[in-house]
Structure 1
């Protein structure tokens, strides 16, 4: 009977299933019964979908199957355990998807897709001719726009479907709601989150001085760069710049080999666990390919969360619905989360405000908290419930804000939940999405093309899953009695000067592993008449929480600044580091000015501002030296010029591109931008190694192995811009 069942499955289509983690109830690998699962079949055509069992309840849109294609152990019954193409082992669990053909011969999925991509439909082993092949729609048949945007073609009629095994029967668990998996009626209070594991008892609560607990990731690296190394005693220097550079420690638990093997990106105890709430737009405009790719991207996110991370999903259209409360991403939790995402369908309007209110409600009413909390918001449209259209047809935003007051980063409540907003396509409200992210302390990404959704999500969670520093606060004090601070330039980070201007504070919040921050402090250097040949300018102090050791680290004299004060000096050399950071700040200011001009309708003026900024940039010391950040800034400014060519281009993509760039520069954090990862790589000075690893994994999992071009795109920004 088992053999007949397997042959029937093979006759229906490709024998590929969406990877779902094994649950405890399933026990060891045994021969499954038809009643114990839905199906392992992934139909490739409407005919094969209609020919399947009519009682099988399968979704109407594709699932994130390409985020991790694997076959369960019970389907690998071939006597051959070696791939006939690459001659290496096909043992399950080694990070490779396995394809079983109609003739019952099995191969690595990446090997066979390479073998058949030119139209070869012959089995390499028995020479049988196949009717179904792993990749049925060649790139040549895809419309030009979609071929550039998507690495995988998803049919618009949503007939390419994948089935999940039925979830295990509900278990008695006091931490879970007693109703069904997806709450039809939501509770009045969202205090039904699955409790986090208790924290280990830590006796050492502080690390005084420069001491760092042995269980921590290591200290934050602090470097200082004065604008010039010496000022003569008789001279004064107005607006003297000092660059203070921070770099977070490495994440010890982020080995590359684990990513290659398909395991969690970090081990359970090597990083801070995350509470993540995703707000997903499922309005009518998301129908078809958009929703399919969103499901695939969410499948990628779910697979890479660890058993101590918790996830809740809110789907919104005309209203917002919580699919399930904050739940640990254990094997069972992942299976249920995948099924919830798989069940989504699109219809209705767009109510972003309601989704944000519900996301804030989850975060404020949860019984327990993980150390890192964040919200991801994706929408392809404008909020149709807080925007009115008065006479004249021009939309007017009502007085009701989209972001709840409790989510604002400076509301004084202590609730710091950044919203990382992703504006999708040409019709989303980039201004509103940028405002949401900016007000909450998150980033705004512009996803112009459908195929970049998963990469954009991968970059974001690559950072969230590598937080190594929390609540970082830096204090700067003048060392010399005659000095006062003029300004602190720290982008969107909260900074303040003391009333006597002898000191200042910058609050950076959380840092990802190996993430860097640069800010400039200005002060006036007076002429002096002293015997000493040097002068102390600043003392720098760092205070932050180590999420691994659960300690507060205080670093006194982390980066003190001193310059020489000789009687006379020769040629003055400007610090290259200070010069390129000045260029970054000036370029960001030019972007904001150009956007303001374009929003007023003065596109010619906007282009002129950008052109002038590029000219000034080219004349600086660091740019003439070929500094790669300056090269990337020039490429970014040039791209903005092109997107301000006319009103139509600016409205559909230019404004969103500029806003995502401003978000990236103001927070010094990587954002997705434009229509491909190639365009975003031009300015990825802020991309961390963990982000790069996750993007590479996202691109690798699309069709088996990445092309050389994809690997170039996944790396941090290049020394020279890639040709467009």
Structure 2
């Protein structure tokens, strides 16, 4: 065969290389910022600078991908809860039941003079839901308020029934009361000690508390919510219409837990001589330890979309080394992927320059986080002043002084829209605190509860609003969705 008889078949073009699958977005990310990158050493007296370690959770997990939840409700059924209060709580429980899946478990305990387990921790199949709804309908009010009994029974309900799912489980007690503890262990310090002792240190059970009306002990309920390693939230339910949205806000958080067993490690390179540099971490919701070079913080559950900021205060002398390096890393359980994760180490360095007082430009994010800390510290100090001595005017002055300081610190800054929203939120909450304590009577009725709620929200950077219409920059999309949905269901199911 002649060569002309061959048919030329062109070679196919080389196949394009298979694109690499992008790595998954980490559930938690870590970033370090510093107040000033360059610090002038102009004084022989010790001075300080600040850093912020920011932990950011990724966006909301899907409903299908979320972890199962175990919830135990401890409901006050004392005499003061009679009438519309109990009726609304029972309706809210029915809405809560409707939101849970068969992979979720729920128990219900009531307390008055003593405590009673109405419904043991059970997977909420359709049959179980129907049985629970029937038992909710039978609840009646009687007697006084044994918070310790109800709380202890709800915690025992969770502890005695370990999670059955192979996936990490979110576990929480929801305690609702309208009054003061006057049965069982009623002294606040003793009751808080009981709470701290009843949940093992390696357990992730949180306690969320709901103070209904103006006659509950906000100090106690806030303390109970913060007494466990995995801190919960205190909700001030001022209006009876907001019981369902308060439970919804709480449930939205539990439904969107992104990570558990979180350890934040912060290290400061102290190659200088002893005593020239020291550091501490300011964050009330963290528990931890460490030494003069390394500090570790153990954190509670973090919800999707949440941001947690940890201020690192570094104190130095004029003979400090020319450069200080701060680094941080995260270890956590990613509950959406069911795996332990160690983040890449984040690092930042600061130059200390002799013979000058000049500083590099101040990082606005660090400045605003410092203001956030001042907001909750001032609310706490003002609340303590009004509570201990009745000096409402002195307490109000603390707040007005901070409002003036915030204005002075931020007026000359060019702020982004997000930064301006943060400042506006601080100012609005402080002004609302002033409005809630125009007199000692108004402070006792609502001001003390309002300030407790707000100081906790700013300290934890977590929404604890009972009204879904109240603006709160810490509220993620899941909290907003469940708060709105549960209140909407109250209307569609019961015409309210």
- Give the TM-score normalised by the residue count of structure 1: 0.59
For residue 463 of structure 1, what is the aligned residue in structure 2? 253
Asked if 1:322 is matched to 2:117, the reply is yes
Contact 2:333–2:341 (8 Å) recurs in 1: yes
Gaps of 5+ in 1: 1-212, 254-265, 388-396, 705-724
Asked if 1:313 is matched to 2:108, the reply is yes
**Deviation for aligned residue 1:398:** 3.9
For residue 347 of structure 2, what is the aligned residue in structure 1? 560
Structure 1 distance, partners of 2:190, 2:101, is 34
Contact 2:468–2:480 (8 Å) recurs in 1: no
Contact 1:386–1:400 (8 Å) recurs in 2: no
For residue 310 of structure 2, what is the aligned residue in structure 1? 519
Structure 1 distance, partners of 2:307, 2:461, is 8
Contact 2:71–2:172 (8 Å) recurs in 1: yes
Which of 593, 607, 614 is 2:403 aligned to? 614
Alignment of 1:338-377 (within 5 A): 338-368=133-163, 371-377=169-175
Structure 2 distance, partners of 1:273, 1:622, is 47
Structure 1 distance, partners of 2:160, 2:380, is 38
For residue 263 of structure 2, what is the aligned residue in structure 1? 473
Structure 1 distance, partners of 2:297, 2:476, is 22
State the Cα deviation string for residues 536-595 of structure 1 (Å, max 9, x = none).
Answer: 5211111011223322111231x2112456898977321110111110111111111111
For residue 672 of structure 1, what is the aligned residue in structure 2? 465
Contact 2:249–2:482 (8 Å) recurs in 1: yes
Asked if 1:605 is matched to 2:394, the reply is yes
Deviating more after overlay: 688-697 vs 574-583: 688-697
Alignment of 1:179-578 (within 5 A): 218-231=26-39, 238-253=47-62, 266-267=63-64, 270-368=65-163, 371-386=169-184, 398=187, 401-403=190-192, 405=194, 407-408=195-196, 413-440=201-228, 441-479=231-269, 481-482=271-272, 484-498=277-291, 501-524=292-315, 535=323, 537-557=325-345, 559-563=346-350, 572-578=360-366
State the Cα deviation string for residues 86-135 of structure 1 (Å, max 9, x = none).
Answer: xxxxxxxxxxxxxxxxxxxxxxxxxxxxxxxxxxxxxxxxxxxxxxxxxx
Contact 2:288–2:298 (8 Å) recurs in 1: yes
**Deviation for aligned residue 1:412:** 5.9
Give the secondary-structure state (helix, strand or coil) at the position aligned to 1:408.
Answer: helix
Asked if 1:694 is matched to 2:479, the reply is no
State the Cα deviation string for residues 387-422 of structure 1 (Å, max 9, x = none).
Answer: 8xxxxxxxxx548833563x4189764234221000
For residue 37 of structure 1, what is the aligned residue in structure 2? none
State the Cα deviation string for residues 349-371 of structure 1 (Å, max 9, x = none).
Answer: 21111101211221222254562
Structure 2 distance, partners of 1:488, 1:220, is 20
Contact 1:426–1:652 (8 Å) recurs in 2: yes
Structure 2 distance, partners of 1:386, 1:460, is 27
For residue 648 of structure 1, what is the aligned residue in structure 2? 441
Structure 2 distance, partners of 1:688, 1:612, is 31
Give the secondary-structure state (helix, strand or coil) at the position aligned to 2:251.
Answer: helix
State the Cα deviation string for residues 675-696 of structure 1 (Å, max 9, x = none).
Answer: x444x42xx2221121112123
Q: 1:628 to 1:368 in 2, by over 3 A?
A: closer
State the Cα deviation string for residues 49-95 of structure 1 (Å, max 9, x = none).
Answer: xxxxxxxxxxxxxxxxxxxxxxxxxxxxxxxxxxxxxxxxxxxxxxx
For residue 589 of structure 1, what is the aligned residue in structure 2? 377
Structure 2 distance, partners of 1:539, 1:299, is 48
**Deviation for aligned residue 1:474:** 0.5
For residue 141 of structure 1, what is the aligned residue in structure 2? none
Structure 1 distance, partners of 2:411, 2:282, is 20
Structure 2 distance, partners of 1:307, 1:486, is 48
For residue 3 of structure 2, what is the aligned residue in structure 1? none
Alignment of 1:106-121 (within 5 A): none
Q: Which has the higher strand share?
A: 2
State the Cα deviation string for residues 604-655 of structure 1 (Å, max 9, x = none).
Answer: 1111111111111111137855621111111111111122211221111111
Structure 2 distance, partners of 1:366, 1:287, is 32
**Deviation for aligned residue 1:492:** 2.5
Q: 1:623 to 1:302 in 2, by over 3 A?
A: farther
Alignment of 1:110-149 (within 5 A): none
**Deviation for aligned residue 1:348:** 2.1
Contact 1:475–1:503 (8 Å) recurs in 2: yes
Q: 1:381 to 1:515 in 2, by over 3 A?
A: same
Give the secondary-structure state (helix, strand or coil) at the position aligned to 1:341.
Answer: helix
**Deviation for aligned residue 1:439:** 1.3
Higher Cα Rg, which structure: 1
Give the secondary-structure state (helix, strand or coil) at the position aligned to 2:375.
Answer: helix
Structure 2 distance, partners of 1:488, 1:424, is 35
CA RMSD of aligned residues (A): 3.0
Gaps of 5+ in 2: 1-21
Structure 2 distance, partners of 1:598, 1:242, is 33
Structure 1 distance, partners of 2:221, 2:135, is 25
For residue 16 of structure 2, what is the aligned residue in structure 1? none
Give the secondary-structure state (helix, strand or coil) at the position aligned to 1:439.
Answer: coil
State the Cα deviation string for residues 497-537 of structure 1 (Å, max 9, x = none).
Answer: 41xx111111112111111100110114566899xxx9452
Structure 1 distance, partners of 2:175, 2:320, is 59
